[in-house]
Structures are given as C-alpha cells and as structure tokens.
Structure 1
Amino acid sequence: MPVLNRIADFAEEMKGWRRHLHANPEIGFDCHETAGFVVAKLREFGVDEIHEGLATSGVVALIRGQGDGPVIGLRADMDALPMDEMTGLDHASGTKGRMHACGHDGHTTMLLGAAKYLAETRNFAGTVALIFQPAEEGGGGAGVMVEEGLMERFGIREVYALHNEPGLPVGAFRTAPGPIMAAVDDFSITVTGKGGHGAMPHEAADPVVAACGIVTAIQTIVSRNHHATKDLVISVTQIHTGSADNVIPATAWINGTVRSFDKGVQAMVMRRMREVVEGQAMAYGVKADLDYNLGYPATVNAPEKAAFAAEVAGEVGTASDPDSPREMGAEDFSFMLEQRPGAYLFIGNGETRGVHHPEYDFNDDTAPYGASFFARLVERAQPAER
C-alpha cells in the first residue's frame, strides 16, 4: 500500500503548513507560535482533546477511535536551530539566527497530516496521543515532558517517532532493533597553572602544555581501555587559552563530547577521564578540574516494535534491512523510549543537503509518506472491530 489516497489529496495543503513553519522558526522551549499554529490546525481537524503548556510550549492532542483500546503515542519535535539560513528560498527563515536546519518543521507537518486523516477516518480502536514537543536540540524537551508525567497522564502504552534522513530515497524508511542512536555526554576541563613570560617557562606552570598532554591521554581511553567491539567516540572539540605570543597564560579550557550505547562503557569513560585528568595534572604540576555532564541516553528501540514499524513502513514505502546501522548522533526521544516500548525510524529526505547545514531544506515530497506511516501504524497496531 503506497501513500494513503486521502493524505495524497491534501499533500499540497501539508506543503503550505510546512513552509509556514519553516519561515517562522523558534528555538528551544520557546515554541509558542509554532504550538499556536499546531493547536489551530488540530481544532480545525476536530480532535477530541488538546492539552497545552507541557514542557513550556508542548502540545498533546487525543483522537479517540472506535471502541475501547490502549493509547498509542506519536511524537514530533517542533524546535529549530540557532543558525543563519543560506537557502535563498521564498519560504526561508524570516528571523536572523534561527533556522529549521534539522527538518523539525517537516516532522511537525507529518504528524499534523496524520492527525487530519485519523480525526476524519477514526478507523482504529482506543486512542492516539499526538505529541508535539519543544526543545529537542539540546534542551531535552522529551525528558521534561516525561518528568511532567506525559506517559501516566495520558495512559500511553507505546510510542513512535520519525526523523528525516538526507541521502535516503524519498519513500524509504530504516530502523533497527535495540540501540539506534547513541547517548551523548559532554565534558569541560579547566586547567589552572601559573602564568609567566614566554621566555622564562621555568618560572611558570604552563597550562597549555598540560592541556595538550590531557587531550593526547584522553584519546587512549578509546584505544586502550575500551573493548573494540563496542561503539564509542570521544572527541575533544575545543581548546581555549592564551592572549599573546610571549605570555604563558594561567588557565586553559578543554571541551568535548562522548558518544556511547552501553551504560557500562559510559561509566568506564567517566572513571578513566577523571583518572587521566588528575594524573596528567599531577605530572605537569598544574591543577585540573573535570566537569562531566550526562546528556541524552541512548535511543533504544524495543525489538518487536521496531520489527512491526518496519513492516508498516514497507506497506507505505520501502523498508530497509531491519538491522540498519546505528548512529553516533543523539536524540531526546530516548527519554520516552526509556519509559515505554516503541521505535524510532528514519525516513528518506532524498538527495538534499545534510541536516544542520545552512542550505538544508526538508523535502515536501517526504511528508505524505511520513503522515501515511503514522496513520497506518495506528490502524495496524489498534485495528477497529469489524
């Protein structure tokens, strides 16, 4: 079964929604205008309940089907990125420093398309909870919604989400059982020495040399402390220090990111990084303080839900190998999957610029496939009695 006929009928309408959202991006938890647009559409569609203000600007809408049954959750993220757009499109961002460079405008549109169809047809049992979430890009809005009781309040039993993927053909989907995206942590290290003249290093305690030693030693955690068959990335991405060629500074700062899937690996990294930083500081005669911050957990699909979602995706478009490779990127939908079984899938955006690129744009041809997937997922998971 390809794109549902009814959804194909209003594909142009969906394009209009998406381009409006793209031109009016909002950041983090402050997605009030986006939420207002979503709520207006949901009221127009005739959903049964609308709940606003979750995680500041999140929205949950309920659509009841035919007869009793469980509640299935479908989630879309709404927030944009703090960057300038360089597409030159007619519907480009109207706000400098804000851009929908990750396709959340498309994700919101796909869920709105599913909402319109499901509110019209109601060819399912139980209830569908449509979750429109702010602050995926660093704010952890999904975690906040969970902490506010999202799952319990609405009785959600399982939950699903889609993310567009440039390079994957339009109409294609991919997912995998178990971990599909990594946990993301960040760290910062403050190295404090003793400043001095660049010509007299013996009178100083050089934090620059110590910082270089720390960075080099951190790389051995992956190569010498980690089991080679378990995925792990540690990247030092920033070093800041100094003000002049002939001045040894008093302080240096190091920042970076850690990506992993296994909580045991994550614990090992935290322990070894602390040991490395302390040991290197002692060796160079400086003081070093590590601040290690746990971020989004790994996104872990329930195997049976991922297999079911892949089957539904194959009905709407084409589904890839069910053991699709996992990614080292991170996603706060992981907080929802920690609470309820479900699956996270990628949907093809075609040959476009990659996400987070200033020339990226969501492919409007993708939206009918995503909306049809969400709709068929509900109908298949909770079929109405005949």
Structure 2
Amino acid sequence: MHSTFDPHIDTDAMLEWRHAIHRQPELGFEEFQTSALVERCLRQWGYEVTTGLAGTGLVGSLRFGSGTRRLGLRAEMDALPIQEATGLPWASEVPGKMHGCGHDGHTTMLLGAAQALARLNHEGGHGMDGVLHLIFQPAEELGGAGGAQRMMKEGLFSRFPCDAVFAMHNMPGMEQGKILFREGACMASSDRAILVFEGCGGHGAMPHLTTDPTVVAASTVMALQTVVARNIDPLASAVITVGRLQSGQTYNVIPETAELELSIRALKPEVRNLLEERIRSVAQGQAASFGARCHVTYERGYPVLVNSPAETRLAMGVARSLFGDAQVIANADPLCASEDFAYMLQERPGCYLFIGNGDNGHTQGWASGPCNVHNPSFDFNDHNLETGARFWTALAHSFLSTPA
C-alpha cells in the first residue's frame, strides 16, 4: 500500500541543476562551482548553510519545531578524470573530466528533497520535529584521502550532531527506480599494497649472473591467487587484484627492481587482516626463494561499510510505503566496491542504499550489457531524480516525525 505522504517535487528544476553540474565536472576538493550552486539554492530556501568543511564541502541545516531528533542525509559532489564519450547535449564541457559515477545525480536528488522539505517547513512541518542536516561532501573518489574523513576530522558530527545518517548511490544494470537495501556488511574495505622486489640486474644474455626481479614478480602474481583460493573461507568474500606490474626499460637488460601494485577487498575485518598477513608472507617468501628481497608498503583505505539494522529497516519501510513492495529489494547482494560513507557509519548508525539506474539507453561499446560507472559512456538516469528526491523527503518526514 502506498503512502499518502508524497509532496510535490520540482522535476524541471532538478533537470536543470543536474545537467548544469554534469556540464562542469570538478574533481575531488575542486568542487567550487558545484558547491556554490548548492549553497545558493539552500540559502534561497531558508537553510542555515555552513561552508568550508573539507574545503569545498558544506552542510545545510533546517529546524522543524523544537524537537531533539537529528537526521543527516549525505550526497557526494566530485567527478572523475575521464574523457566523456556519451555525446549527450549535457555532456562535459571540461576536457578529461566527467561525472562518470553519477554524483551529479546524487547531489541533485538531495537538492530536490531539500527544496520540498523547505516547502513543508514553511507549511508548518507536517508533524516534523527536529533538525535536518544535509551533507554535501567533496572528494569521495580519492580513496583513503577522501572527503568523508576530512569532514569528520573538521568536526562534522560535533558541529552537526546526527542520530542517524543515510546516503544513496545509483546501480547500473538494476531496473530503473528499484530501491535496494542490505543490513550489515554492504560494501567492501579497500586497501592498496605496493610490492617492490630487489634483485641483481645484468645482461639479458647472461641471466645466470643475475637475480631477475621480473621472474620473482611474475611468480608472486601467480602465488597470490592461492591466498583467496586456499586461505580464505569459501563462504567469505575477498579480492586481490594485481593492477600494475612494472619492470625494466628495454628488452635485453635484466632490471634491478620490479613492482606490483595491488587492490585488496574484503567484507569482514578479520578477512581484511588475514589478507594483509598472507600477502606480506607470500611476497617475501617468493622473493626469498629466488634469492631476492621484497619491500611491502601496505595502505589501509576505506573500511567495510556496515548498515545498522534498525535504520536500514526504517528506510526500507519508507521505500515500501512510498513505492510498493515490488520496487524494493530487501536483501541485496553485497558489493566489493568501496565507499567512504563507511567512515560516517563507523561513527553513527545509518544506511547506505542503492537505486537502480537501468541502462539509460547507453551501452559500453563492443561489450554487451548496461554501461557501468567509471565508464566514458555512463550517464545518471534522469528518471531517478524525482524518485530519489521523493524518497529522501519521505525518509526525513518519517524520521523527524518519530519521537526521540
């Protein structure tokens, strides 16, 4: 049964905002135009706006009544260093930069909700009682140096207390408008390792007089495949990807060093710890077996993103009430991608959910299937603007209408 609470959403304005943001993409900590657009809108609608968090981040706050409930809704604003290939009328006008992950859509959905919620506030709040904090975050795409951590270090939750926080991301390939939830571990941790193998270089015609680090690196690539296959519980999830193997400068010289760069993912902290332990052991053991040495630099990135049960069920109930059971997926599969909203969920209960992006009429060239994020042909599905804004508005109404 659908909810009767369904305020008006200004979809025409949302299209204008989304396409304007898309035309002028900005990378992490450079979102000056995007932040200025958001600030102008929020101030016009009566929000108290605090700028300068993590440089280009901002928070718009709105009080309903005199209640003590406090809700945080977050959207990210940054683009990617990709040359857009969509050919759309609103395609990026900045060479080498594009909104290839849909953050332009996420920002716009939250702006649309902000406008609708301000209208409700002017009408007396419709039973809402508490404080709403809209968090517009920079630099989600920058890995461990991203905007969420920096906003928090600069006092996000001490300056803008939240009893719960929520965020949403589009999901290509899932039917447009479907809303997906998962309690518990929802997205993976993301770590990076650099393995530097030191050997003894020499002439390519006399390999017996060298210790070839390229061979050590190649052997380590294969040995690392056994970590997930033989050290991790088959019912757990883990990924080790060797994204870079770099060695040598020319064909007839055996180099002094070779490097591997790894991406490591896990959905449980204990698996994350085991992966680091085994990667170090395998790499150094392989090096020793060839008479070489290995130096390991291991960098912890985003933690596992964990959705709290009560807040996930609340958000799921809002989605069901608003869109019907058929539009809600209650136990979606976890993803091995990662998100810095995980840091916020370590400090406050909440939920990170997904909205189906469909294929939006685009494909990824020769490959079949819908175009995924981080692809030059990706575009956020504009049909989701109203859906997302309606959901955020209804969630805020539900949360702030519930006694503390």
Q: Tell me if TM exceeds 0.5.
A: yes
Taking the aligned partners of 2:349 and 2:220, their CA distance within structure 1 comes to: 40
Q: Which residue of 2 aligns with 1:133?
A: 137
Do the aligned residues in 1 keep the contact of 2:227 with 2:278 (CA within 8 Å)?
A: yes
User: How does 1:192-271 map onto structure 2 within 5 Å?
Assistant: 192-271=198-277
Q: Which residue of 2 aligns with 1:377?
A: 395
CA offset at residue 234 of structure 1? 0.9
Two-structure CA RMSD over aligned residues (Å): 1.5
User: How does 1:7-22 map onto structure 2 within 5 Å?
Assistant: 7-8=8-9, 10-22=10-22
Do the aligned residues in 2 keep the contact of 1:193 with 1:286 (CA within 8 Å)?
A: yes
When residues 53 and 297 of structure 1 are mapped into structure 2, their CA distance, relative to the original with a 3 A threshold, is same
SS, match of residue 163 in structure 2: strand
Do the aligned residues in 2 keep the contact of 1:69 with 1:382 (CA within 8 Å)?
A: no
Which whole-Å deviations, capped at 9, do the CAs of 1:149-170 have from their partners, x for residues lacking one? 2112111110000101112222
Give 5+ residue unaligned stretches, structure 2: 361-370
Q: Which residue of 1 aligns with 2:42?
A: 42
* Among candidates 328, 336, 343, match of residue 336 of structure 2: 328
Do the aligned residues in 2 keep the contact of 1:151 with 1:157 (CA within 8 Å)?
A: no
Which whole-Å deviations, capped at 9, do the CAs of 1:34-89 have from their partners, x for residues lacking one? 10111011112121x10001011100010111231211000000000011000111
Taking the aligned partners of 1:161 and 1:321, their CA distance within structure 2 comes to: 17
Do the aligned residues in 2 keep the contact of 1:72 with 1:129 (CA within 8 Å)?
A: yes
When residues 117 and 3 of structure 1 are mapped into structure 2, their CA distance, relative to the original with a 3 A threshold, is farther
User: How does 1:21-100 map onto structure 2 within 5 Å?
Assistant: 21-47=21-47, 49-100=48-99
Taking the aligned partners of 2:4 and 2:301, their CA distance within structure 1 comes to: 37
Q: Which residue of 2 aligns with 1:297?
A: 303
**TM-score (ref. length: structure 1):** 0.96
Taking the aligned partners of 1:221 and 1:239, their CA distance within structure 2 comes to: 18
* Among candidates 376, 397, 401, match of residue 358 of structure 1: 376
CA offset at residue 274 of structure 1? 1.2
SS, match of residue 67 in structure 1: coil
Taking the aligned partners of 2:307 and 2:130, their CA distance within structure 1 comes to: 23
Q: Which residue of 2 aligns with 1:337?
A: 345
SS, match of residue 244 in structure 2: strand
Taking the aligned partners of 2:201 and 2:3, their CA distance within structure 1 comes to: 67
Identity %: 41
SS, match of residue 401 in structure 2: coil
- Kindly provide the amino acid, as one letter, of the partner of residue 27 in structure 1: L
Taking the aligned partners of 2:90 and 2:3, their CA distance within structure 1 comes to: 28
Q: Which residue of 1 aligns with 2:364?
A: none
SS, match of residue 137 in structure 1: helix
Q: Is 2:189 the counterpart of 1:188?
A: no
- Kindly provide the amino acid, as one letter, of the partner of residue 118 in structure 1: L
- Kindly provide the amino acid, as one letter, of the partner of residue 369 in structure 1: T
Q: How many residues align?
A: 383
CA offset at residue 2 of structure 1? 7.3
- Kindly provide the amino acid, as one letter, of the partner of residue 8 in structure 2: I
Taking the aligned partners of 1:382 and 1:5, their CA distance within structure 2 comes to: 15
CA offset at residue 32 of structure 1? 1.4
Which whole-Å deviations, capped at 9, do the CAs of 1:114-169 have from their partners, x for residues lacking one? 11011110231101100000000024211111122211211111000010111222
72-81 vs 365-374, which moves further:
365-374
Taking the aligned partners of 1:41 and 1:2, their CA distance within structure 2 comes to: 28
CA offset at residue 3 of structure 1? 10
Q: Which residue of 1 aligns with 2:115?
A: 116
Q: Is 2:318 the counterpart of 1:312?
A: yes
Which whole-Å deviations, capped at 9, do the CAs of 1:319-359 have from their partners, x for residues lacking one? 43321111000011000000000000001212232111101
Taking the aligned partners of 1:144 and 1:213, their CA distance within structure 2 comes to: 39
User: How does 1:154-193 map onto structure 2 within 5 Å?
Assistant: 154-193=160-199
SS, match of residue 164 in structure 2: strand
